[in-house]
Structure 1
Amino acid sequence: MTTLEFKIEINAPKEKVWDILWNDATYKQWTSVFCEGNYVVSDWKEGSKIQFLSPIGDGMSSIIYKKIDYEYMAFKHLNEIKKFKEMPADDTTKEWSGTMETYRLTEKNGQTVLKAKMDSVEKYIDYFNTTFPKALDLVKKLSEGK
């Protein structure tokens, strides 16, 4: 398991960046680089389940491990979802079950630094190293109104 780290500076207050990250409409926009039509099902409360889903119902079931509004969000990934149903753990799932994905926002003088970290299995490292910066660039553009 490898922890990948990504960082971007955004010319917007952290409250605006937070809203872009987790608002339903803009979440769909910036995560479209991973899968067109991505969406989440959650009440967005710490400790609650969250499902990251594709339009055909495939994705991941996780929990909101830690949430500090406008500062920090951590997801602990648990199970795979196929056609809207959580799948029992198998050897592939066991490889990544329990991995973390975190987002930290710090602001200074109206500029926000967004740091994202995620645990990845070896076979997805190149994909995330290519795709995740594109997603964060979209967060930046949406937050800065470009």
Structure 2
Amino acid sequence: MKKLHFNTTINAPREKVWDILWGETSYPKWTKPFNEGSAVETDWQEGSEVKFLDGEGNGMLSSIAVKREPEYLSFKHHGNIINGVKDTESPEVKAWAGAEENYTLSTVNGQTELKVDLDVTEDHSGIFSDMFPKALAIVKELSEQS
């Protein structure tokens, strides 16, 4: 596994940035660089299952490892969802199962510093290195709108 790190400074309170990241209507907007029609299904409680889905209903099966609103959210990835079927046992999934994706929001000089740290396989490193800055630019734009 490889660790990737991304960060941006946003001229908005971290509560607003948190709401943009995990809001039902804003989440599909900022995750568009990853997949058109992205959605997330969860009750947002620590320990709960999370389904990160594309427009076809396929995606990743994860859980909320740690939640400290509005400063930290950690996901642990467990498997894939393909055609509605959960896969946590295939060799492909076992190569990255247990990967983490962490979001840290800090207040610095009246602005929000958003840091994202994630584990990826070597073959996905380039894709995420390209897409995450685009996604975070959208988070910044949405958060800074009045």
Using the size of structure 1 for normalisation, the TM-score is 0.97
Give the C-alpha shift of residue 108 in structure 1: 2.5
Counterpart-to-counterpart distance in 1, 2:84 and 2:140: 31
5+ residue gaps, structure 2, are none
2:61 alignment counterpart: 61
Greater shift in the superposed pair: 38-47 or 102-111:
102-111
Contact in 1 for aligned 2:88/2:94 (Cα 8 Å): no
CA offset at residue 143 of structure 1? Answer: 0.2
Q: Higher helix fraction: Structure 1 or Structure 2? A: 1
The aligned counterpart of 2:30 is 30
Cα shift at 1:110: 2.4
**How many Å separate the matches in 2 of 1:58 and 1:99?**
18
User: How many equivalent pairs are there?
Assistant: 146
| Unaligned residue ranges in structure 1 (runs of 5+) | none
Structure 1 segments of 4+ aligned residues over 2 angstroms from their partners? none
Shift of residue 88, structure 1, vs aligned partner: 4.3
Whether the aligned pair in 1 keeps the contact of 2:34 and 2:131 (CA below 8 Å) is: yes
- Structure 2 Cα separation of the partners of residues 129 and 42 of structure 1: 26
The alignment's C-alpha RMSD in Å is: 1.0
The two structures have a TM-score, normalised by structure 2, of: 0.97
Q: Distance in 2 between matches of 1:94 and 1:53?
A: 19
Q: Report the identity percentage.
A: 45
